[in-house]
Structure 1
Amino acid sequence: MKLALYSVAMLAFLNFSCTDKSTLEKSTTELTDKKSMIKTEDLSYGINGVTHRSFAAYKTDSEGPLPVVFVLPEWWGLNDYVKNRAKQLAELGYYAVAVDYYGDGKVVETPEEAQKLSSHFYKIPIDARRMFDAAKNKVIIAENADHTRMAIVGYCFGGAQALNMGRTYNDFKGVVSFHGNLTTGIRAKNNKVKYLVLNGAADTLVPQEEIANYKKEMDSAKIDYKFVNYLDALHAFTNPEATATGKKFNIPVAYNKAADEKSWNEMKAFLAGVLK
């Protein structure tokens, strides 16, 4: 989406910045299910004097290092939704990392605050890369992570940034965007990264012109991508809290259970293919 369109409602759904003062704070929780143990921990590092705490989740009973999936959040920050997505990916056998863009694991409560913080990374995209670099550098040295097999999954703002990171780096096998904007400020290039774009057909924040331009750009660059539209799905269709959020703030977002489940299955098949 053109930068100008991100201004009010558009920027309302997106989020990202980086340096490296490495100290891994292993902590927190171990969640048990019937088959395995999931461990979660903070990957802690400093950026411009602020401590960032990205959230890692992985199975402790797996043999050898695990393929890595970065999870880029909605503009709300490092909330329970994105952490739960990381845990779900861990259940699938990945070393999953939800990236902390705002610092201190910050979560925002209003669209106004979220827009103020997330818009920075559209205006200054090099800060988006620095933010991602810092998290990536922590993962590369993590004992349980296989940095030769990495992918990125992003939601809304995180979906747009996932597309950009795929265009920026050569060492990712695949990128998945859930209801993210498609015009992101960095042009597509054929670096062998594969893309899966999962879009809501009723999403007014990703208009048909933007979709057409995205496809034209990807086709021109001869990039391997798949674009899936889900009938009747609005922006943020994978987030169970989206309907209540849309009503509270009068913004066009809503949960769609069918689209959520279908898109998750698309993602699972895609990741299994690119990270095998």
Structure 2
Amino acid sequence: MTIQTRTIEYTHDGDVFEGLLAWDDRQPGPRPAVAVAHAWAGRSAFEDGKARALAELGYVGFAMDVYGKGRRGRTKEENAALMTPLVQDRARLQARLAASLQTLAAQPQVDAQRLAAIGFCFGGLSVLDMARTGLPLRGVVSFHGLFTPPGNTAGRAISAKVLALHGWDDPMATPEAVLAFAREMTQAGADWQLHAYGGTMHAFTNPEANDPGFGTVYSARADARSWQAMRQFLAEVLA
């Protein structure tokens, strides 16, 4: 197996973005592809690594960028400054996500009829919005994502299958928010699943997360279980 990568610049509304594409060059022809939505710091080695891991599973992985080329946060304050404007303007975020997915679908390695998306933290919110807005995806997976509805998709049906992988003790997505999310997905007619991991906080897939006071703690057990759940889900929706 030889995993190849290349960065791809793309533009939307006058802004330049840069994603990372990863694929196994031993596999001939177009294949299913999975977009990776980044956490609040922006596209990083973490998301690039997930794109490579997806390529090792036989997919084309694409680490998306919704902040802009080179725009990254290094502290909580910088991360919040990058994320908050898009959380507050979900239509703008959704448009950037659509542009990223369109870029992925246009790559020669990609079967544009078999697309999915996964996301982490803020990226989990992002992929749920991709499903809510009806982008051409077969399925989305939210890892410790935020469940706050966007406010501009009420009443719309959700055709993409949805898998939410959630730490039950996540202070950023409380049990009340989980129940509201379940009601929203049901009302939208979605084929949805929720896996809740007990004794698990936010950012449980990130080995660098170790801030109990902030609510972000890595869990090797939940990390492994959630990745396995994602693998089974993608095998189903992208078959």
Structure 2 Cα separation of the partners of residues 105 and 60 of structure 1: 27
Structure 2 Cα separation of the partners of residues 93 and 144 of structure 1: 11
Structure 1 Cα separation of the partners of residues 53 and 125 of structure 2: 21
Kindly indicate whether residue 214 of structure 2 is the aligned counterpart of residue 251 of structure 1.
yes
Of 176, 179, 200, the match for 1:209: 176
Deviation at 1:125, TM superposition (A): 1.4
CA RMSD, aligned part only? 1.5
**1:188–1:217 CA contact under 8 A, matched in 2:** no
Kindly indicate whether residue 24 of structure 2 is the aligned counterpart of residue 72 of structure 1.
no
Deviation at 1:140, TM superposition (A): 2.3
* Residues paired across the two proteins, number: 237
Q: TM-score, normalised by structure 2?
A: 0.94
Counterparts of 1:223-238 in structure 2, within 5 Å, are 223-238=190-205
Structure 1 Cα separation of the partners of residues 3 and 155 of structure 2: 36
Structure 2 Cα separation of the partners of residues 187 and 81 of structure 1: 32
**Percentage of identical aligned residues:** 33
Structure 1 Cα separation of the partners of residues 140 and 102 of structure 2: 18
Equivalent residue number for residue 46 of structure 2 = 81
**Rg larger in structure:** 1
Deviation at 1:148, TM superposition (A): 0.4
Q: Which has the higher contact order (CA 8 A, sep 6+)?
A: 1
Q: TM-score, normalised by structure 1?
A: 0.82
Deviations 1:54-93 (A, max 9, x none): 1111111112101010100100111111110111011001
Equivalent residue number for residue 165 of structure 2 = 198
Structure 1 Cα separation of the partners of residues 202 and 217 of structure 2: 7
Equivalent residue number for residue 8 of structure 2 = 43
**2:168–2:198 CA contact under 8 A, matched in 1:** yes
Kindly indicate whether residue 18 of structure 2 is the aligned counterpart of residue 92 of structure 1.
no
**1:71–1:153 CA contact under 8 A, matched in 2:** yes
For structure 1, which runs of at least 5 residues remain unmatched after alignment? 1-35
Q: For residue 69 of structure 2, what is the amino acid of its counterpart?
A: D
Distance 1:109 1:230, change over 3 A: same
Distance 1:50 1:192, change over 3 A: closer
Counterparts of 1:1-276 in structure 2, within 5 Å, are 36-185=1-150, 186-187=153-154, 189-243=156-210, 246=211, 250-276=213-239
4+ runs of 1 displaced by more than 4 Å?
none
